[in-house]
């Protein structure tokens, strides 16, 4: 029935294991959901955190065995106390599914009233809060969630809704879309004059479409999107990146430290690049070419079937 429960069978979970499984929670005020104004006004006013206990949907109650119920109860009890008056999503498991990915999460109700939800859009984020997928779900299927309780549920995100492919889903989080910061998408591609002259019309069109179709940025967010990599005859690595500015101000870069990682996750090259005061205007994306010389490459056999470039930690 639920693939994630197979991992819980046959052993008593420890506190450390449970904490490693539970991801960062996405929290909404009950007043932000489809609940009535009257229900929102009757939210518990106490500032003490609410400990939510396990509540199983009747279908889960019938199909799960005693050991599975015990494991879920233990996990629910180990969740962090939730401030009164909130609805939250606490992801516990993300596994492959025939149709895409299956995410299991506790839907938690810290109000003093039963909560019934309607259709809502959920998102899966990974890494540094990058958007992996979004999809609408009919949350009325969960039934009425009792006061101060946590109800586990399985969400299957279809592959057709994936916004990125060939990524490592580490540090992932399932969240209510409306609980995230306002998203902005730098739709305008900005090219330096030298790039305008050097690129063909087809290459320009391809970059414009890439900038338009990338996952949205949070308001004020700046990130680097890996675009293309090529190894030269002398052994250097030419890497094209898209610098994305989701802020309302222009940004200038004189230098930029970068590290390159291959499919195994190994850091294979690192360097500090002089950009000569490169400017990326507000809400725009600008491509730039970075060359890692042969002497900066730290690994002989590279697997570039998947790769990424990021700013090293502490830089």
pLDDT at residue 151, as a whole number:
96
Burial class of residue 310, CB neighbours in 10 A (0-12, 13-18, 19+)? middle
Answer yes or no: are the C-beta atoms of 72 and 53 closer than 8 Å.
Answer: no
4 pLDDT above the threshold of 50: no
Rg, C-alpha atoms of the chain: 23
Residue 137 neighbours by CB under 8 Å, 6+ apart: 119, 120, 121, 122, 155
Answer yes or no: are the C-beta atoms of 256 and 311 closer than 8 Å.
Answer: yes
Percent of the chain whose pLDDT exceeds 90: 45
- Paired tokens of 44: 């518990």
More confident residue, 3 or 56: 56
pLDDT at residue 231, as a whole number:
93
pLDDT band of residue 241 (cuts 50, 70, 90) is very high
Domains of the chain: 3-180 (no CATH), 184-310 (2.60.40)
Mind listing the pLDDT tens digit for each residue in 124-145? 988 877 888 889 999 999 999 9
9 pLDDT above the threshold of 70: no
pLDDT at residue 38, as a whole number:
39
pLDDT band of residue 55 (cuts 50, 70, 90) is very high
More confident residue, 160 or 13: 160
Answer yes or no: are the C-beta atoms of 220 and 282 closer than 8 Å.
Answer: no
Least confident window among 23-32, 104-113, 210-219: 23-32
pLDDT band of residue 199 (cuts 50, 70, 90) is confident
Mind listing the pLDDT tens digit for each residue in 261-288? 999 999 999 999 999 889 998 888 999 9
Q: List the 222-231 sheet strands across, edge first.
A: 188-189, 284-292, 237-245, 222-231
260 pLDDT above the threshold of 90: yes
Per the listing, tokens 């890497």 go with 239
pLDDT band of residue 23 (cuts 50, 70, 90) is low
pTM over 0.75: no
């Amino acid at each position: 029935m639920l693939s994630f429960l197979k991992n819980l069978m046959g052993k008593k979970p420890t506190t450390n294991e449970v904490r490693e499984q539970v991801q960062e929670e996405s929290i909404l005020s009950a007043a932000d959901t489809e609940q009535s104004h009257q229900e929102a006004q009757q939210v518990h006013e106490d500032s003490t955190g609410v400990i939510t206990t396990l509540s199983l949907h009747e279908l889960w109650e019938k199909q799960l065995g005693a050991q599975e119920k015990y494991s879920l109860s233990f996990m629910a009890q180990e969740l962090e106390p939730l401030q009164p008056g909130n609805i939250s999503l606490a992801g516990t498991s993300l596994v492959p599914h025939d149709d895409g990915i299956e995410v299991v999460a506790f839907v938690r109700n810290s109000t003093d009233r039963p909560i019934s939800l309607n259709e809502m859009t959920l998102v899966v984020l990974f890494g540094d809060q990058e958007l992996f997928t979004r999809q609408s779900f009919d949350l009325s299927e969960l039934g009425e969630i009792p006061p101060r309780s946590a109800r586990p549920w399985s969400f299957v995100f279809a592959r057709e809704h994936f916004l990125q492919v060939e990524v490592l889903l580490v540090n992932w989080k399932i969240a209510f879309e409306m609980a995230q910061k306002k998203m902005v998408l730098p739709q305008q591609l900005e090219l330096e004059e030298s790039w305008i002259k050097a690129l063909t019309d087809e290459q320009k069109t391809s970059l414009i479409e890439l900038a338009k179709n990338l996952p949205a940025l949070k308001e004020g967010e700046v990130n680097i999107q890996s675009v293309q990599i090529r190894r030269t005859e002398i052994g250097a690595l030419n890497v094209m990146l898209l610098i994305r500015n989701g802020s309302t101000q222009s940004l200038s870069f004189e230098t930029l430290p970068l590290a390159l990682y291959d499919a195994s996750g190994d850091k294979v090259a690192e360097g500090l690049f002089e950009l000569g005061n490169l400017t990326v205007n507000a809400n725009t994306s600008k491509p730039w070419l970075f060359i890692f010389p042969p002497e900066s490459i730290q690994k002989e056999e590279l697997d570039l079937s998947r790769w990424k470039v990021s700013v090293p930690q502490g830089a």
